[in-house]
Structure 1
């Protein structure tokens, strides 16, 4: 299981979880939506593009993994 980050058309971020038991359904497994005003139930209907994976996300101490 791992997390993917997607940028919505409005610039906000969607964090999803991909579960090996159903990898084709990753967008439905919404872990968190950052500053998204609507219900997470509608997030899967949006057009998205992947912008980050977890190896490139900043970690809490401010460093970034490469």
Structure 2
């Protein structure tokens, strides 16, 4: 009796999970990769503009004259 109830619950959970999966996979992504990449490039430029040691010069120190 208990095993029948557990099996019925398992089937119900499996069915519910399948419905949730179908709803999730049917949705289109709200992310636009191009916009994300453009934003990333802008942030890298800003970071490079304010850092003391710019990217690409691994291990090289930049001489700053003031």
TM over 0.5: no
Higher helix proportion, which one? 2
Larger RCO (CA within 8 A; separation ≥ 6)? 1
Which TM-score band applies after superposition, normalised by the shorter structure? under 0.3
- TM-score where L is the length of structure 1: 0.20
- TM-score where L is the length of structure 2: 0.20
